[in-house]
């Protein structure tokens, strides 16, 4: 597949944590979700890809022609092509929304001030529409929306977003999904998104490709539709749990029933039991894969 980012042997070591990505492929023209629990290494990886961290080992290729050294060159067009939002402090607290626009105009040639102001109104960041609110007076959710508005107002080919929905309310998350889908469709197939999340449920609607991380490594990845074909969700009565266990990746027991996820190639065996099989959600797959990566080998849930 065509990739907007391709990486090999990406490594970053800390005292108690190591990022170790053998190969990374972010497909062009789609929204890719980087999923994992807190501490899985998502932010470290995104900081490397966005150029915030440069002290790492490995090789990166952007848009199939620029490497990490090109990316760090101020004259290289890749700097204009990629927009980044994160959870750090990117606008000075005493700046007004209008000053955010002025600074962005100076930093990025492709910044569209009118589009920015339209986004500020659409995202309800400044209800009075005076653009005079200071960054310090905004809620966490509105500060994140301000970052998103600023980056969406630029002429970019890719967005890298670290937990963009974390501080947003349910309505704002729904708006974010629609906004990100419009971003891709405006210049399809030349625009791509890579965003991280530890809770995929609110962002599943916009996710085309998923990469699941655990303990600094990629433990599963693929197109969402294909992942849903690869796995199956299983529900049965509690007294059937022991018979189903050898075929399950994960299994949770309640007072009366059990549920869990298995590989689809186990359907032939599972269908002989009094269980219900259904297509899993991406959230159910993610939870099963993460549990399997950390707990299952120790608990003996993974069949030979």
Q: Looking at the structure, tell me whether residues 171 and 106 fall in a common domain.
A: yes
Q: Which 8-state DSSP code applies to residue 111?
A: -
Q: Looking at the structure, tell me whether residues 86 and 17 fall in a common domain.
A: yes
Where do we find the tokens 């990022």?
Answer: 19
Q: Looking at the structure, tell me whether residues 151 and 262 fall in a common domain.
A: no
Q: Looking at the structure, tell me whether residues 85 and 127 fall in a common domain.
A: yes
Residue 88: count of CB within 10 angstroms of its CB: 10
Q: Look at residue 90 in the predicted model and tell me its pLDDT.
A: 78
CATH of the domain at 282: 3.30.70
| Predicted confidence pLDDT, tens digits, the chain (304 residues) | 899 999 999 999 998 899 999 999 999 999 999 999 888 899 999 999 998 888 999 999 999 989 888 777 777 788 889 999 987 667 899 999 999 999 999 989 899 999 999 999 888 887 666 788 899 999 888 999 999 999 999 999 999 999 998 888 888 888 899 999 999 999 888 899 999 998 888 889 899 999 999 999 999 999 999 999 999 999 999 999 999 999 999 999 989 999 999 999 999 999 999 999 999 999 999 999 998 887 544 444 443 3
Q: Decide if 129 is inside a domain.
A: yes
The stretches of the chain forming alpha helices (DSSP H) are 42-50, 68-71, 78-81, 97-107, 113-122, 140-152, 170-186, 224-230, 241-244, 267-270, 282-294, 296-299
Residue 240 belongs to what domain range? Answer: 226-299
Residue pair 24/7 in contact (Cβ under 8 Å)? The answer is yes
CA distance 144 to 163: 10
Q: Which of 109, 119, 118 is nearest to 144 (CA)?
A: 119
Q: Look at residue 130 in the predicted model and tell me its pLDDT.
A: 75
Q: Decide if 149 is inside a domain.
A: yes
Q: Looking at the structure, tell me whether residues 247 and 185 fall in a common domain.
A: no
Q: Decide if 304 is inside a domain.
A: no
Q: Decide if 275 is inside a domain.
A: yes
Of 158, 182, 215, the last residue of a domain is: 215
- Total domains present in the chain: 2
Of 180, 215, 250, the last residue of a domain is: 215
Q: Looking at the structure, tell me whether residues 209 and 234 fall in a common domain.
A: no
Of 190, 215, 240, the last residue of a domain is: 215
Q: Looking at the structure, tell me whether residues 84 and 157 fall in a common domain.
A: yes
Q: Decide if 174 is inside a domain.
A: yes
CATH of the domain at 157: 3.40.50.300
Residue pair 152/179 in contact (Cβ under 8 Å)? The answer is yes
Q: Look at residue 74 in the predicted model and tell me its pLDDT.
A: 73
Q: Look at residue 5 in the predicted model and tell me its pLDDT.
A: 96
Q: Tokens for 185?
A: 């469709």
Q: Looking at the structure, tell me whether residues 78 and 125 fall in a common domain.
A: yes
Q: Looking at the structure, tell me whether residues 114 and 164 fall in a common domain.
A: yes
Q: Decide if 221 is inside a domain.
A: no
Q: Looking at the structure, tell me whether residues 102 and 243 fall in a common domain.
A: no
CA quadruple 91, 92, 98, 104: dihedral positive or negative?
negative
């Amino acid at each position: 597949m065509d990739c907007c980012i391709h990486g090999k042997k990406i490594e970053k070591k800390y005292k108690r944590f190591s990022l170790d990505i053998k190969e990374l492929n972010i497909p062009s023209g789609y929204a890719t979700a980087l999923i994992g629990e807190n501490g899985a290494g998502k932010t470290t990886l995104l900081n490397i890809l966005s150029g915030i961290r440069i002290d790492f080992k490995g090789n990166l290729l952007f848009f199939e022609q620029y490497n990490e050294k090109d990316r760090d060159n101020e004259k290289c067009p890749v700097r204009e092509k990629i927009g980044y939002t994160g959870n750090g402090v990117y606008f000075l607290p005493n700046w007004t929304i209008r000053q955010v626009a002025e600074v962005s105009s100076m930093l990025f040639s492709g910044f569209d001030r009118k589009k920015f102001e339209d986004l500020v109104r659409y995202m309800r960041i400044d209800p009075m529409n005076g653009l005079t609110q200071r960054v310090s007076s905004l809620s966490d959710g509105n500060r994140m929306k301000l970052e998103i508005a600023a980056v969406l107002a630029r002429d970019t080919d890719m967005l890298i977003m670290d937990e963009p929905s974390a501080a947003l309310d349910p309505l704002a998350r729904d708006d974010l999904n629609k906004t990100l889908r419009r971003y891709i469709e405006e210049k399809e197939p030349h625009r791509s998104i890579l965003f991280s999340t530890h809770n995929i449920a609110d962002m599943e609607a916009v996710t085309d490709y998923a990469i699941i991380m655990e303990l600094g490594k990629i433990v599963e990845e693929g197109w969402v539709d294909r992942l849903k074909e690869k796995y199956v969700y299983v529900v049965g009565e509690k007294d059937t749990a022991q018979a189903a266990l050898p075929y399950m990746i994960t299994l949770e027991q309640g007072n009366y029933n059990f549920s869990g996820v298995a590989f689809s190639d186990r359907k032939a065996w599972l269908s002989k039991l009094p269980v219900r099989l259904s297509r899993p959600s991406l959230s159910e797959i993610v939870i099963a894969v993460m549990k399997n990566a950390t707990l299952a080998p120790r608990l003996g849930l993974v069949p030979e």
